[in-house]
Amino acid sequence: MTDPETIYQRMKDLPSARLLGAGTPMCAGCGGLQALHEIYDVLGEKTVYVNAAGCMTLLSVYPFTPFRGSWLYTAMASAPAGAQGVRDALDILLKEHRIPPAEDVDVVVLTGDGAAYGMGLSAASGAMERNLNFIYICYDNEGYGNTGQQYSAATPHAARTATSKGGQGFAGYKKDLFSIWAAHKPAYVATVIGSEPLDLARKIEKAKRMKGPRMIIALAPCPTGWDYDPQESVKIGKLAVSTGVWPLKEYLNGKVTHTMPPRQRRPVEEYLKLQGRFAHLFTPRRNEPLLAELQASVDAYWAGVG
């Protein structure tokens, strides 16, 4: 058997693309991993990731992590509080000249939607209130993926989840986390998706240059939870944008700007029908009222954009 030190030496010499792609226990076609991969390429190695329980936790199995920087695991509601501790420790080390400024690192919270939209929301609110200098990445696969896709506060209306079965799917509505975060007036808030990598990279580069709370929500197409063929992940991500279901936007200095508004929106149905979690809207017969309601809510959003 190979000893841990030899494994570590081999792992640390692998390029980041391989570290985050092959050899991880993630599902094929994971849209969250795609976004994280792209984000990591922009943020670079000088980062500490503070992670709350979820699918991405599987990336790091103690004492290893595929990230070249550091990784800290916290309880599900506490990642922003953990980030505060890490940032404070770094600031003390810098102030006391125990590390040079060149050794400072970005503190990055990485959680799923279950933590960001639910259990960890008050910790994020407190961190923004204290103007914590950190970046928060939420990969939003619209459910508790790691425990079998139970509904979360990010689950869209009518989707089937492990806890929302039957002809109407999930009875609730997806929480508007972008607006909740923006209401705190942090330095920056943005939505991104891995299937639009240029828009994503531009936003992460912008966030990296800033200080203060920088909050990012990445819609994360999830073949396992959303029930579709893994090779469709990029297509589904692009449809989320072109149908208007996932508006790409940013909040900066009190203003919200849409960065890729769909010129001619495609019907929402094109996005829904590729995913098994919405199959009950089409078979055994079309649920016209529910399909019309879902289209109308997207239309109403864009009518308000002006």
Ligand X SMILES: Cc1ncc(C[n+]2csc(CCOP(=O)(O)OP(=O)(O)O)c2C)c(N)n1
Residues that bind ligand SF4 (CB under 6 A): 26-27, 30, 32-33, 55, 141, 145, 220, 222-225
Would you count residue 149 as binding Mg ion (CB under 5 A)? no
CB-wise, 73 or 302, nearer to ligand X? 73
Q: Which stretch binds ligand X (CB under 6 A): 39-47, 49-57, 193-201, 259-267?
A: 49-57
Q: Which residues contact 243 (CB under 8 A, 6 or more apart)?
A: 262, 265, 266, 267, 268, 270, 271, 298
Residue 75's identity, in one-letter code, is A
Measuring CA to CA, how many Å separate 238 from each of 19, 41, 235? Answer: 25, 21, 5
Contact status, residue 250 vs residue 190, Cβ threshold 8 Å:
yes
Q: Which residues contact 280 (CB under 8 A, 6 or more apart)?
A: 160, 166, 167, 168, 169, 287
Q: Pick the binder of ligand X from 67, 144, 178, 226 (CB under 6 A).
A: 144
Give me the least distance between CB of 89 and ligand SF4, in Å please. Answer: 30
Residue 224: which of ligand X, ligand SF4, Mg ion, none does it interact with, CB under 5 to 8 A by kind?
ligand SF4
Residue 82: which of Mg ion, ligand X, ligand SF4, none does it interact with, CB under 5 to 8 A by kind?
none
User: How many Å apart are CA 59 and CA 66, to the nearest integer?
Assistant: 7
CB-wise, 47 or 141, nearer to ligand X? 141
Q: Pick the binder of ligand X from 39, 76, 159, 274 (CB under 6 A).
A: 76
Contact status, residue 117 vs residue 152, Cβ threshold 8 Å:
yes
Contact status, residue 206 vs residue 41, Cβ threshold 8 Å:
no
Structure tokens at 40: 């990591």
Q: Pick the binder of ligand X from 19, 35, 36, 55 (CB under 6 A).
A: 55
CB-wise, 172 or 267, nearer to ligand X? 172
Q: Which stretch binds ligand X (CB under 6 A): 88-96, 113-121, 210-218, 241-249?
A: 113-121
User: How many Å apart are CA 7 and CA 64, to the nearest integer?
Assistant: 9
Q: Pick the binder of ligand X from 38, 106, 113, 199 (CB under 6 A).
A: 113
Give me the least distance between CB of 149 and ligand SF4, in Å please. Answer: 7
Q: Which stretch binds Mg ion (CB under 5 A): 20-28, 138-146, 195-203, 294-302?
A: 138-146
Give me the least distance between CB of 240 and ligand X, in Å please. Answer: 17
Handedness of CA 228, 230, 235, 240 (dihedral sign): positive
- Closest alpha carbon to 179 in 82, 263, 256: 256
In the complex, the residues that contact ligand X under the rule CB under 6 A are 53-55, 76, 111-115, 141, 144-147, 152
